[in-house]
A and B are shown apart, each in its own frame.
Chain A
Amino acid sequence: MRLVRHIAAASAFAMIAGAAGAESNVRFWYHFDNADNPIDDLVAKFEATNPDISIEAENIPWNSYYDQLYTSIVGGNAPDTAMVKLFAQPRLIELGALAPIDDMLAEWDDANNLQEGLLDLVKGGDGNQYYMPVQYVALYLYYRPDMFAELGLQVPTTCDEFHDVAKSLTRDTDGDGQIDVYGFGFRGAKGGHDHWATFTLGAEGVSLTEGLTSDAGVAGTQFVADLFQKDGVFPPSAPNDGFQEIIGAFKSGRTAMTIHHIGSANGMVEALGDNVSAAPVPACGGGQWTAFGDESTAVLSGAEDKEAAFKWIAFLSSEGNNTLFNQATGQLPVVKADAANWTLHPKRFVDATINSLEAAQLLPASPATSDFVNTVWPTNMQRVLIGEITAEEMNANIELLFTE
């Protein structure tokens, strides 16, 4: 009889535990290039401490990440939480897709462990907090110290120096009459606006929302066009080159400089060893401009259990877990303690990132920014590079987008 009672009690307990186990399900969308995909470890760790919440993490390919996110929101099938970038925030707010996390954030003990100012930086335009920072980078210039030494060149600090250095680096190294090394790997396809912005938006009074059609603004775009058409310092495939192409070309020694962030540093070191280093981007038109690469997580307004969703994103931005997360993405942690103990990248790349922060800028918080990034910039830049339109026309098209 006692045995029966025990069994009954045990099964009742199991049922309760089972029911509790299924209490909340949080769907999370993210994008990792890393094939090892260590998110499973993070999920297991989270579920062990939060047995009443189960996490359903889905890796969405980066190229169509936002297309899928927006359509899933409108289609009513959005995830509960997602990795998000700042440029998308105005559009997501306009869609009413984000849930404010101010109250939950106020009660979260670990908020003070985040690096200073980051929470403010990602605050929504309407004053609410929607985003929880999870990683960051700043773009800098990758260069080949061995090639620079061979030719007696210094790392360029201005666009004029950059122009001369890039020209010297573009050469035929084996004497077959073919160019083997190009000075700079320019990203002409989607995502390359950061390269163009370095050469264009550094000038005084020039930004995406003003001064783009001034002489100084047009000069920046013209500088890029001339580097390709007149000086031939970009590989001929530059108009179509995306992330894979510029990184691949740099690793194989096809290009001597390019612009990207610390996320690709370990791969570069694997391929080139000590023959790769980094420095802040050159100052162009009198000022320095580089992109601040942000990544946050957010709770979506359609989430059923917002507390559980917040617990998950807070977990990713807390001590130790944030290191695990950035191990996967190769970017830099937002938690002070994790940043202090950071050993996952060679120091020279961390230094270059920190030295670039001063010049790091965000794209304007405007719903037009998405179109700028996804279609307007790539198409116009490509048309300039292949000589279909002029630099003035390109800048006018971008200005029109932001003033419409």
Chain B
Amino acid sequence: MPSLSSDSTFKKAVSKIQDIPTLPTILTKLNGIMLDPKTTAEDMGNLIGSDPSVAAKILKVVNSSFYGFPSRITTISHAIVILGFNTVKSIVLSISVFSAFETKGDIQGLNLETFWEHSVSVGACTEIVAKHSSFSAPEEFFICGLLHDIGKIILLKNLKEEYLQILKRVADEEIPLRQAEQEVLGFTHAEVGAYLLEEWKLSKTFVAAIRHHHNPALAGDEVKISSVVHVGDVMARCLCLGNGGDPYVPPLVDAAWDALDMDEEMFPTLLDECYERAQKSRVFLNFI
């Protein structure tokens, strides 16, 4: 499938976007050292430790009930040994995101605190859905859930007039936000979010998961991870965890249902685990 980044409508709109947040420096460096197979937990720990604020936040997260380790983890290297490189990188990215974007007040009527509460909750729900779908390291997918709607913030900040029209159509015609975005802009926040992740040089899997979280059928080889984010989003919306700006629960699409081999009997367990995980994930909201 051709990249939407090459689509002319999308390109034209993206050219209007002045304010694409840059990837925090520490993540650029992390990406660099993680490409080297000789990198050790100590190397990564030293790099993260060079930013005491980030290091302190990571230790706060890994020592919270979100991970629930029986004893206190006091060094980043120890956290890396226990959680693995990718999960620690995902935590660094998660806590850095809040400083790259606005987190307080409103943009065009979208309350940012409830927006981030929704995003963090989708991160938590995505992890649970990944766990039920037999992914070996489900915690690595928290970041996909956290960033799934990030395109909305970019659009709200950069295409204000168009987004006002979109929000008006959502309210007047009672249609889903993504439908109004498609009709007004010719693309959705999902593509814009994917564009940001591409700019940030995040993995192609994550880019695809964000791009297709409303329609995993289009994700090709990445249908399973896109489905995980899709179902994570649906679960968080059902449970009214925060508010991503869309008034309705997105319908579960057949492609996700099939890719994850879902069953209606899973719902009570899934809802319970998602809700509990989302409560624990609130530790991330301390950083907004």
Partners in one complex: no
